[in-house]
Amino acid sequence: MELLMDGGFVKPYFIEELGCDGLTCADIAKSLGIAACDVRKKLVTRGFIERIDKQGYKAKTFVLANKTNGVEFNEYALDVDAAKFFVAKYDNDMGDAYQAFLISLEKQVTELDVLTRHDPILRSIAETQRLRLQQILIEKQIKEHAEKITSLEDNTSNMPLNTIQKKHLKKLIDSTGYAFGDPKFIGRIQRDLKDYFDLSTTNDKWYHIAQKDYKKALDFVRSWGLDSTRLGF
């Protein structure tokens, strides 16, 4: 991933392991001009993981492979508040400058929030982003449950959707419908699902889809809005 830089400082960016914007130890090291291994050592040996957790901030550990020799090591990702908290503890000119940089970014976000609340176009853009992020997170949850669901499908493939499948498919249907700006699209998606799987002929409900067709149903909902005729355009 190409990191955004400003005056040599790395800007926070979305980190999947965190589920929000943040920085890794490598990012912090690059900004402070020191070795990444030293940042990781300080984070771990001085108890910062526990201190960050006590403050309600987020820190996640994930495994990376060394680009040179392929040896795996633990990397750490901190959300923005945790990063500011950690950087401040360096208590030197570079640490102070980086902390000030992160605070200035937060101020810019706050100012944008104020503008967004008073501008209808910005509000619309922000709402679209929120809905899209919600859909991404739902799809991530679906992916995380894929292996469990596959195991269930092997044993009961012709039975109707199980509770987990029904829950995640409904979330995807709802977020897709709301993404088009009107809850009425939720009902349309459900009706089209019934037609697609020939459930209308038997007067079954949309969630009576067979477990073996669960992945097909997900793909159908994800691609539903790509057909403009369904939206009445």
In a domain, 101, yes or no: yes
Its pTM stands at: 0.48
Host domain of residue 216: 130-231
β-strand pairing of 72-79 with 59-65: antiparallel
pLDDT band per the 50, 70, 90 thresholds, residue 24: very high
In a domain, 167, yes or no: yes
91-111 pLDDT, tens digit per residue, is 788 888 998 888 888 776 555
CA distance 179 to 174: 8
In a domain, 105, yes or no: yes
- Give 86's contacts (C-beta < 8 A, 6+ positions apart): 28, 43, 48, 52, 78
In a domain, 97, yes or no: yes
Quick one: 103 and 146 in the same domain? no
Domain end: 118, 144, 178, which one?
118
CA distance 188 to 201: 17
Domain end: 118, 145, 173, which one?
118
Quick one: 101 and 140 in the same domain? no
pLDDT band per the 50, 70, 90 thresholds, residue 132: confident
Read off the pLDDT of each residue in 166-188 and give the average, rounded to a whole number: 88
Number of domains making up the chain: 2
Residue 15 pairs with which residues in a beta bridge? 20
